[in-house]
Structure 1
Amino acid sequence: MGVLLHLLSGVALLVWGTNIVKVGILRVYGANLRHILSVSVSNRLSAFAAGLGVTGLVQSSNATAVITSSFVGQGLIAVAPALAIMLGANVGTAVMVQVFSLDLSWLSPLLIFVGVILHLSWKGQRVGHVGRVLIGLGLITLALELISIATRPVVQAAGVKVLFGTLTGDATLDMLIGAFLTILCYSSLAVVLFCGALASAGVVSIHVALALVLGANLGSGISALLTTSGNNQPGKRVTLGNLLSRLLGCLIALPLLTHAEDLLKLVSTDPQRLIVNFHLMFNVVLAILLIGATGPLARLCEAILPGRNTGDSQVTPRHLDPAALTTPTLALSNAARELLRIGDRVEQMLDNLLRVLRTNDARLATATCRIDDEVDDLYTAIKLYLTRISTEALDENDGQRWTEIISLTINLEHAGDLIERMLLDAKDKKIAHNLQFSEAGMQEIAEMHGRVVANLRLAMSVFLTGDLRSAQQLVEEKAKFRDLERKYSRSHLQRVAVQTAESIETSSLHLDMISELKRLNSLFCATAYPVLEQAGLMNRSRLKDDERPDVAGVPEVQAR
């Protein structure tokens, strides 16, 4: 029992070390790695090389699959070059297996020692993340040594011999067992190295180990597909194509295992070297065979998974890269970029609202209401994306930015709902009866509308730049808008009092419109509050006046 626990702990440490390296590399080079993948699609060979290089750094073809799948889902990369990237990723994993199969036990203490010093001394900084990578590499080499030590007494256990002896009968069954182990470990690198250790210790035969390695390749493809199951249809085509290519390779290789074993023995008779060499040969040969067939394979995946995405929305998030979640600052930047798209949609709805009020265009009103569905979808996507960011990894500034993004996202979603309700009211109370606002009333609504649009743009600028002067200007505009709403309400009632026909017919709708415009303006102006609070210019209910520090060149503002 103790031997089994030592063996399982070694495997667990190997998987954990691989994960640490992946996270550390993504935090240090995350943006650069994504840039490399996104610009490497000019031809299949450059895409293949990018996949190989990125996977060699992050130690995980699944991580590369997630990044590539997100690019395809956003329409930044076509499926065919993405499949070439995945072929390179598979070879990259095999190359790293070659590296870690060497005797690196002497290196493990050094890597862990240096890595811990760097990580603790510069925690949260770039150097600290490099230290995390070194710790992960040290744990991988240490885990391989532990596995090697743990498997030595396994050979002497009769029960274990019988257990592994059952694997010698059916190569297909052995392959499926290897796939299952890989899905559990979420790392083909770990499973292949483990198979090499078992073969080296004589626990399993070379033939069984080769079948298990085939299973590790198949299981890696299944794991990647499961990881991206929540993506839209184009994104899932990448991992589906990767799985199909690996399945094809396994079906071809299964009957050739004996010949492959004989061929590899010409290079090295050491069982562990033979296993890792087979893993590399399998992926290299598969890449050579399929690098020119990524186009037909992409069309097959499109036939299996047709459609633009899994939902009915006409808009798909472009910047919410799942692979960036391990780098909070980058993930927040992605969420902020997606938030700007919501701002553009809301501004489009506002522009259409004024046209509807002027022209009674029912079709435009209906089409604009559908834009609110897009706003809702983007709002949901951003909200879910933000909840997936580890709050433990956020420092104080990132935590504040997280709050600002979610707050503005909620306000813009509410704004979209308000505009939709205003349009529905206009259809029911004005367009259906072919009514018109009075000329003076329409001018008032147009002026208020123009101020709302200007304040929306100013709010988005404050959100992006955090400019204090602009934030104070936004709060001033809120106070001015409140006065304007009161003024125009009184002027409308005066027109009703003098029996202006248009004003009487549209009175209820007119008052509702200017009231809703005021609510919209308040939602946009709320963007200024976090900036003012950070500058120490906010009391609980108003801006500081006499006690606040002077801001050069910025007029004093008091919230009313």
Structure 2
Amino acid sequence: MESPSLVPFLLHVAGAAALLIWAVRLVRTGVERAFAVQLRRWLRHSARRPIIAAGSGVVVALLLQSSTAVAMLAANFTAAGTLAAPVALAILLGADVGSALVVQILMLRSDWLVPLLLLGGVSLFLRGRAKMTRQGGRILIGIALIFVSLAMIRDATEPLRDSAGLMTAMRYLGGDVVTAFLIGAVFAWAVHSSVAAVLLCVTFAAQGLMPVTVAAAMVLGANLGGSVIAWMLTVGAATEARRVILGNLLLRGGGAVLALAGLGLILPLLEQLGAAPARQLVNLHLAFNLAVAAIGLPLRGPLLAALGHLLREPEAPVTLERQSALDPAALARPEQALACAAREILHMGEEVEVMLRHVHRLYRQWDDGIAAAIREKEQAVDRMHFQTKLYLARLTRDARDEEIAQRALHLADMAAHLEAAGDAVSRVMLGLAQRLATENLAFSEAGRQELEDFHDRVLSNAQAALSVLMTLNPDAARALVEEKERVREVEQALQRSHLERLREGRHESIETSNIHQETLRALKLTNTSFTMVAYPILAETGDLLASRLSSSAR
């Protein structure tokens, strides 16, 4: 290739690669926003048999187009005690297979598919009113853009087929598959997507720009890089969650290293996996992950037991006391003082979210240590609320700007609502869980499952509320308020379901009736309290009318 054409070529390839990475994330974002609660519930319900757990991982990874996203969900459930480590590892092994199937699907080419997806996606996103409809449009647009980005890469690299310099470089990599393997691993880690990395390698190979040997090594490297992502994201997680992630890293990443060592034996078999290089590579990617899952599922127990000796709970380190964000010196600068108050309120929300995440474990088995920790956090939240009120009162007393006073009032309201959520968790739900243990009562299986599903929905909304509080994103705020209405409908449906079990005369439902209903009400109150952080944002953008959401807002 002549040097004058180098810069345009690099711009085209870089732009196409960037579009590919962004499109993959666009699909994942749409699925998470539309089906987050359902996917979380599905994963938690998959604990019956390893094969069911692995199948759930396959399906959720197909929808999210990311095994890393599934790994993070499973790690969170494991840390919270709602998912056993062997089940979580089975889900991760299935998710790796699911991400390989995503590549198979996205390699399909059809000239009429892209305009159809774009037309349907844009129509749904612009004209849809329901959250599911709009996010469905986002998903279709993302899939269409993936196909567009792959076509851009093919077009941009077409002139390279006759490049002598490129062929020389590829011949070198063909003799140094370790370097090719590491390039694939680093690229998958850098873009946080093994799907995007494998698609890029396969596209280059299909264009004749990369020998199959080099591409196969890079695909195996992408599997290592993909498994490293979740491990790096959970470095500070609970030990049990890190065991699961490290187990998947050893199985998938270690398997990729072993496959690289035996690449000379694998290459002669590639012709049996397909006629064209692209088909051989995507089938190799799928066959590798299927083999890892088949080997890993029986080895989960021994592997996790061995990792249990390697990863132990660390001794409590020396910690420095957290200083309040409420800086008195900032009161002379109202904008900075408001930022200080917002930081303190965000920390309040984080503390209440931690309380909410752990309280449901006490409904299964009472634990004095967890209960004491929740009460201690509730006292800390009360102190932060009181100090924040005083801080904002001092600010409004000295502030002459009406806008500053109004923003301070909104922050004070947020703090009050979060404090109410903390009370609902620590005083109501904690008391109900203790009563359940003291009186030796147990929910019916259906009732317990309903409460756990509802708790998970509220926890998901609480986390979304903290994100809204941090980003002040109007779209996310609107989605949060819309979900509040959905939670109210679900709570009413669950109350009716409970009454139906009472009419049937189920012994467990009768004994735990008050506890069941009061827990539902406490969870709904907690959800409402977290949702209130969105209202000042929507009022400011005009998305909120006096009594309801504006129907015209997008």
TM bucket by the smaller chain?
0.5 to 0.7
- Which is further off, 128-137 or 163-172? 163-172
2:391 aligns with none
The 1:64/1:370 distance shift into structure 2, 3 A limit, reads closer
Q: 1:394 aligns with which of 473, 476, 486?
A: 476
CA contact (8 A) 1:335 1:386 kept: no
Please, which of 93, 117, 121 is the counterpart of residue 115 of structure 1? 121
Q: What residue number does 1:100 align with?
A: 106
- Post-superposition Cα deviations, 1:393-452, rounded to whole Å, max 9, x if no partner, equal 3335847999xxxxxxxxxxxxxxxxxxxxxxxxxxxxxxxxxxxxxxxxxxxxxxxxxx
Q: How far apart, in 1, do the equivalents of 2:293 and 2:523 lie?
A: 48
Distance 1:384 1:64, change over 3 A: closer
Alpha-carbon distance, 1:94 to partner: 0.7
Q: Judging changes above 3 Å, is the alpha-carbon distance between structure 1 residues 115 and 397 closer, same or farther for their aligned structure 2 residues?
A: closer
**Cα distance in structure 2, aligned partners of 1:384 and 1:39:** 21
Structure 1 CA distance for aligned equivalents of residues 45 and 211 of structure 2: 44
SS of corresponding position for 2:236 = coil
Would you say the 8 A contact 1:112–1:135 is kept in 2?
yes
- Give me the whole-angstrom Cα distance separating, in 2, the residues matched to 1:135 and 1:14: 12
Task: Determine the C-alpha separation between the residues in 2 that align with 1:137 and 1:309.
Answer: 47
Distance, in Å, in 2 between the alignment partners of 1:238 and 1:156 is 47
Name the CA shift for 1:160/1:342 in 2 (closer, same or farther; >3 Å): closer
- Per the alignment, residue 279 of structure 2 pairs with 273
- Alignment deviations for residues 199-220 of structure 1 (CA, whole Å, 9 cap, x no partner): 1222221111110001000000
The answer (yes or no) to whether the contact 2:355–2:374 under 8 Å persists in 1 is no
Deviations 1:165-221 (A, max 9, x none): 332222222111110010111111111111111112222211111100010000001
Partner of residue 283, structure 1? 289
Give the Cα separation in 2 of the matches to 1:65 and 1:343: 23
Question: Residues 228 and 105 from structure 1, CA distance in 2 versus in 1: closer, same or farther, beyond 3 angstroms?
Answer: farther
Larger Rg: 1
How far does residue 126 in structure 1 lie from its aligned partner after superposition? Answer: 1.3
Decide whether the 8 Å contact of 1:222 with 1:243 is kept in 2: yes
* Equivalent residue, structure 2, for 1:306: 312
1:2 paired to 2:84: no
Q: 1:65 to 1:158 in 2, by over 3 A?
A: same
Q: How does 1:440-455 map to 2 (within 5 A)?
A: none
**Letter paired with 1:17:** A
Q: TM-score, normalised by structure 1?
A: 0.60
How much has 1:77 moved relative to structure 2? Answer: 0.9
Q: 2:52 aligns with which of 41, 46, 54?
A: 46
Conserved in 2, the CA contact under 8 Å of 1:61 and 1:90? Answer: yes
More off after superposition, 207-216 vs 138-147: 138-147
Which of 255, 258, 261 in structure 1 is aligned with 2:261? 255
1:541 aligned partner: none
For the residues of structure 1 that align with 2:135 and 2:20, how far apart are their CA atoms? 19
Aligned-partner Cα distance in 2 for 1:309–1:201:
54
Cα separation, 2, equivalents of 1:51 and 1:113: 31
Matches within 5 A, 1:120-159: 120-122=126-128, 125-159=131-165
Contact 1:335 1:385 in 2 (8 A): no
Letter aligned with residue 372 of structure 1? E
Name the counterpart of 1:63.
Answer: 69
Range moving further from structure 2, 294-303 or 31-40 = 294-303
Per-residue CA distance 1:26-63 (angstroms, 9 max, x = gap): 12211111111111011110111000011011110011
Distance in 2, Cα, partners of 1:145 & 1:5: 15
> Are 1:264 and 1:274, in contact at CA under 8 Å, matched by a contact in 2?
yes
Task: Please report how far the alpha carbon of residue 386 of structure 1 lies from its aligned counterpart in structure 2 after TM superposition.
Answer: 5.0
Contact 2:355 2:377 in 1 (8 A): no
Which residue, out of 73, 77, 87, partners 2:83?
77
Percent identity, aligned pairs only?
A: 32
5 Å matches for 1:135-534?
135-307=141-313, 371-372=375-376, 376=380, 387-389=466-468, 390-392=471-473, 393-395=475-477, 398=480, 463-464=525-526
Q: What is the match of residue 37 of structure 1?
A: 43
For the residues of structure 2 that align with 1:219 and 1:212, how far apart are their CA atoms? Answer: 10
CA contact under 8 A between 1:3 and 1:154: conserved in structure 2? no
CA distance in 2, matches of 1:399, 1:310: 40
Aligned mates of 1:296, 1:377 — CA distance in 2: 42
Counterpart code for 2:310: I
| Structure-2-length-normalised TM-score | 0.61
In structure 2, relative to structure 1, the CA distance for the partners of 1:465 and 1:29 (3 Å cut) is closer
Deviation at 1:338, TM superposition (A): 5.3
Report the counterpart of residue 494 of structure 2 in structure 1.
none
For 1:11, give the aligned amino acid.
A
RMSD between aligned alpha carbons? 3.9
For the Cα contact (< 8 Å) 1:179–1:217, is it kept in 2?
yes
Tell me if the contact between 2:27 and 2:138 (Cα under 8 Å) persists in the aligned partners. Answer: yes
Q: Go from structure 1 to structure 2 and tell me whether the alpha carbon gap of 1:282 and 1:176 turns closer, same or farther (over 3 Å shift).
A: same
Instruction: Report the more deviating stretch, 299-308 or 131-140.
Output: 299-308
- Supply the distance in 2 between the matched residues of 1:82 and 1:259 (Cα, whole angstroms): 32
Aligned-residue offset at 1:371 = 4.8
Instruction: Tell whether the 8 Å contact from 1:60 to 1:93 is kept in structure 2 after alignment.
Output: yes
The letter for the 2-side match of 1:139 is L
Residue aligned with 1:218, SS: helix
Q: Which residue of 2 aligns with 1:431?
A: none
CA contact (8 A) 1:94 1:189 kept: yes
Amino acid at match of 1:262: P
- On the 8 A contact 1:118/1:128 being kept in 2, the answer is yes
Q: CA deviation at 1:12?
A: 1.2
Contact 2:359/2:374, CA 8 A, preserved across alignment: no
Kindly indicate whether the alpha-carbon contact (under 8 Å) linking 1:342 and 1:375 is maintained by their aligned counterparts in 2. no
Q: How many residues align?
A: 377
Which structure 1 residue ranges, 5 or more long, are not aligned? 314-331, 345-363, 403-456, 467-526, 535-560
User: Is the contact between residue 19 and residue 146 of structure 2 (CA under 8 Å) also seen in structure 1?
Assistant: yes
CA separation of 1:223 and 1:62: change in aligned 2, threshold 3 A = same
